[in-house]
Structure 1
Amino acid sequence: MAHKLWATAALTFLAGEALLRTYWLSGGRWGYTACDRTDLGDPSNGCGAAQVTSLPFWPGWGTLGVCVALAVLVGWALRHPGSPVAVGSVWAAAAALATAAFPLHLLFQIPAAATGRPSDWRDLLARLALVLGAAALAGLATTLSPPRRPRDSAYRPVAPWARRSAYVAVALPLLGWAVPHGLWVLDVPFGIAATELDDIRRNLSLEAAVAITAVPPLAGLLTLGLVQPWGQRFPRWVPALGDRAVPRLLALVPAGIVAVALVTYGALSVGVLVRSLADGSRTWSDLAEGWAVAATLLVFVGWGVALGATAVGYHRATRGAGAVSADSHTPAGLTAGRPA
Structure 2
Amino acid sequence: MTQLANRGRGLPEVSPTSRSRFRWPERVGYAAAAVLFLYGAANVYWALGGGGFPFGAEDANPEYSAFEHTPASTLAPVLAALLLPSAAVALMMALPGRRRVPRNVLLGYTWCFVAVTLAAFADFRLLGNLAYALLLRFGAINWTVLNQFFLVLGVGLMAVTALAYQRRLRDACGSCGRTDGEPDWTAPEAAARWGRKAVRIAVIVPFVYASTRWAWALGIPLGISDKLWEEGKEDHLWYWGAGLATLGALGALLTLGLVRRWGEVFPRWMVGLRGKRVPPLLAIVPASLVALLITIAGVMYIRLEIQGKFDNQSEDWGTTVPEMFWPLWGAALAAATLAYHLRRRGRCKRCGRG
1:76 alignment partner, one of 89, 92, 109: 92
What residue is the counterpart of 1:185 in the other structure? 217
The residue correspondences of 1:1-340 to structure 2 (distance < 5 A) are: 1-30=23-52, 32=54, 34-35=58-59, 37=61, 55-58=72-75, 60-79=76-95, 85=104, 86-87=106-107, 89-100=109-120, 102=122, 104-112=124-132, 119=140, 121-144=142-165, 145=167, 146-147=172-173, 148-149=178-179, 156-157=188-189, 158-174=191-207, 176-204=208-236, 208-228=240-260, 235=266, 242=277, 244-246=279-281, 250=285, 253-254=288-289, 257-258=292-293, 260-272=295-307, 275=308, 286-311=312-337, 313-314=339-340
**What code does the residue aligned with 1:76 have?**
M
The secondary structure found in structure 1 opposite 2:188 is coil
The secondary structure found in structure 2 opposite 1:289 is coil
**What code does the residue aligned with 2:315 have?**
E
Contact 2:195 2:340 in 1 (8 A): yes
For the structure 1 residues 226 and 245, does the alpha-carbon distance in structure 2 shift closer, same or farther, using more than 3 Å as the test?
closer
Q: TM-score, normalised by structure 2?
A: 0.65
Cα drift, residue 122 of structure 1: 1.0
Contact 2:54 2:143 in 1 (8 A): yes
For the structure 1 residues 94 and 249, does the alpha-carbon distance in structure 2 shift closer, same or farther, using more than 3 Å as the test?
farther
For the structure 1 residues 94 and 247, does the alpha-carbon distance in structure 2 shift closer, same or farther, using more than 3 Å as the test?
farther
Deviations 1:57-80 (A, max 9, x none): 22x111111111101111221246
Contact 1:191 1:292 in 2 (8 A): yes
Unaligned runs of at least 5 residues, structure 2: 1-22, 65-69, 348-352
**What code does the residue aligned with 2:201 have?**
V
Unaligned runs of at least 5 residues, structure 1: 41-51, 322-331, 334-340
Distance 1:312 1:81 in 2: 30
Aligned length: 295
Q: TM-score, normalised by structure 1?
A: 0.67
The secondary structure found in structure 1 opposite 2:72 is coil
Contact 1:165 1:306 in 2 (8 A): yes
Deviations 1:252-303 (A, max 9, x none): 853663464255234324434xx57xxxx95xxx444334334314432442
Contact 2:44 2:80 in 1 (8 A): yes
For the structure 1 residues 78 and 234, does the alpha-carbon distance in structure 2 shift closer, same or farther, using more than 3 Å as the test?
farther
Contact 1:163 1:227 in 2 (8 A): yes
Cα drift, residue 164 of structure 1: 2.2
Distance 1:254 1:87 in 2: 22
Identical pairs, percent: 19
For the structure 1 residues 188 and 116, does the alpha-carbon distance in structure 2 shift closer, same or farther, using more than 3 Å as the test?
same
The secondary structure found in structure 2 opposite 1:57 is helix
Distance 2:239 2:31 in 1: 36
Distance 2:236 2:257 in 1: 32
Distance 1:297 1:12 in 2: 34
CA RMSD of aligned residues (A): 4.2
Contact 2:284 2:337 in 1 (8 A): no
Contact 2:28 2:161 in 1 (8 A): yes
Deviations 1:229-274 (A, max 9, x none): 566x5759669x95555499737853663464255234324434xx
